[in-house]
Structure 1
Amino acid sequence: MNLLITGFEPFDSETVNSGYEAIKLLPDKILDYNIIKLELPVIFEDSIDILIKAIENFNPSIVLCIGQAGGQANIIPERVAINIDDARIPDNKGMQPVDVPIFKDGENAYFSKLPIKKIVENLKSENIPADISNSAGTYVCNHIMYGLLYFINKNKEYNSIIGGFIHVPYLETQVVNKPNTPSMTTEEICRALKISIETIIKEPVKNIDTKKKSYFFDFSV
């Protein structure tokens, strides 16, 4: 069985991306799963296409996307992705969409298919700070999380994929000139990702049935 884990290239003047640096330290096998590592561009128009091609090529049972959340101190599983791109800064191709739907035929939001509460519980039990987030933002991290969950939901042959997104802090090397900014070592983040992966593999997933209710998000505010 395959597990696809993705991280991003550096962006916003950084020379490394903490998520992908930690991913590179992961073993090639965890429990019974082959760990397939993929670096994604921080580019709105390309990132989802590259992710989908990897899913089609490797047919993973689990897809875990990792992003860098500079300024955060915790490992942060994301609960929900929303159908909007609203970029604070340009992406690595110079694109800066404002209030643009990711997919016009998509739901307003898709919920993570990861056991996010169990991930946080298991991380805390290992003295790793962790918390659930209810907003993945509106930059490329939310874009890729939404694109992943949209793809899973829209394609019957991939409906069984367990997919979601986790944010991680800066590395220690990234905050040398950023006073009072929290960070973790690459090894600490890698350990957190390994625990998260083991949790996802072992724990049953409780999905939220969004079809039973109507969800409305006002993106104009």
Structure 2
Amino acid sequence: MSGFEAFGGAASNPSGDVVRRLALSGHPGVRLSTVVLPVAFAASGGRLRAAVDEFRPDVVIALGLAEGRSGITPERVAINLDDARIPDNDGAQPIDERIELHGPDGRFTGLPVKAIVDALQKADLPASVSLSAGSYVCNHVFYVLQALAEQSERQGRPLRSGFIHVPASPELAAGHPGMPSLSLDELERGIRIVIDTVVATPVDARLPGGAIH
């Protein structure tokens, strides 16, 4: 499981905070390995590859922050595009650049996103399927992760993987009136539900979860 360090001048990033919590406490029935990635286009993919090579996981769940979203949002597709509104933590700001010059325009998740949303909603946590992971470092990592999954599949070592955005923590939202948030306790509970759902659901549920716009 991966999360991210703080970025954009913020003091924390709930995606990384939740991953650190899980690293300390573990999860029943699962051998959990974690990494907190740099918010940097060039460094994040390499760090992710190194972690996958080291841990050789069966499943990778990557987390990232989406300030302004009100719930936990599993992403459905990563796009082959880096287009940064703000510089990353290394000062890089790619504009309209392909992540892989000859890669596909999009790569889809390997996680049961609709089953995840259903399980979260049944646990009274806000959640929905997202059709856009943006074009910042989160999307970059998601795209690279799915490329790693394709490579593992070709090598006869299946890897289920995907990306999930989490909303701001109350601490991050405090300076932005009206911004929705979830506490770290709620986020941890939600991500534990995600883990259990992924383990128990090899094929996604056939449920409505698309968007009109």
* Fold in common (TM above 0.5): yes
> Does the 8 Å CA contact 1:28/1:35 hold for their aligned counterparts?
no
- Tell me, in whole angstroms, the C-alpha distance in 1 between the residues paired with 2:10 and 2:165: 16
Question: What corresponds to 2:200 in structure 1?
Answer: 202
1:23 maps to 2:25: no
Report the AA paired with residue 20 of structure 2. Answer: K
> Any residues of structure 2 matched to 1:1-221 within 5 Å, and which?
5-26=1-22, 28-155=25-152, 156-157=154-155, 160-206=158-204
Change (3 A) 1:123 1:158: farther
Spell out, residue by residue over 1:49-88, the C-alpha distance to the aligned partner (whole angstroms, 9 max, x if none).
1101110111000001000001111100000000010001
Spell out, residue by residue over 1:119-160, the C-alpha distance to the aligned partner (whole angstroms, 9 max, x if none).
000000000000000000000000000000012113422651
- Alpha-carbon distance, 1:29 to partner: 3.7
- Tell me, in whole angstroms, the C-alpha distance in 1 between the residues paired with 2:71 and 2:79: 22
SS across alignment from 2:35: strand
Question: Structure 1 stretch 151-160 or stretch 67-76: which is displaced more?
Answer: 151-160
- Tell me, in whole angstroms, the C-alpha distance in 2 between the residues paired with 1:174 and 1:33: 30
Report the AA paired with residue 63 of structure 1. Answer: V
SS across alignment from 2:31: strand
Question: What corresponds to 2:209 in structure 1?
Answer: none
**Which stretches of structure 1, 4 residues or more, deviate above 6 A after TM superposition?**
none
> Does the 8 Å CA contact 1:152/1:158 hold for their aligned counterparts?
no
**Which structure 2 residue ranges, 5 or more long, are not aligned?**
205-213
Q: More strand by proportion, 1 or 2? A: 1
Work out the number of aligned pairs and report it: 202
- Tell me, in whole angstroms, the C-alpha distance in 2 between the residues paired with 1:29 and 1:129: 24
**Which structure 1 residue ranges, 5 or more long, are not aligned?**
207-221
- Tell me, in whole angstroms, the C-alpha distance in 2 between the residues paired with 1:82 and 1:158: 25
Report the AA paired with residue 57 of structure 1. Answer: E
- Tell me, in whole angstroms, the C-alpha distance in 2 between the residues paired with 1:148 and 1:14: 25
- Tell me, in whole angstroms, the C-alpha distance in 2 between the residues paired with 1:188 and 1:153: 32
- Tell me, in whole angstroms, the C-alpha distance in 1 between the residues paired with 2:26 and 2:10: 29
- Tell me, in whole angstroms, the C-alpha distance in 1 between the residues paired with 2:158 and 2:174: 43
Report the AA paired with residue 190 of structure 2. Answer: A
Change (3 A) 1:158 1:62: farther
Identity among equivalent pairs (%):
38
Spell out, residue by residue over 1:36-57, the C-alpha distance to the aligned partner (whole angstroms, 9 max, x if none).
1110000000101110111011
| RMSD between aligned residues | 1.3
Report the AA paired with residue 13 of structure 2. Answer: N
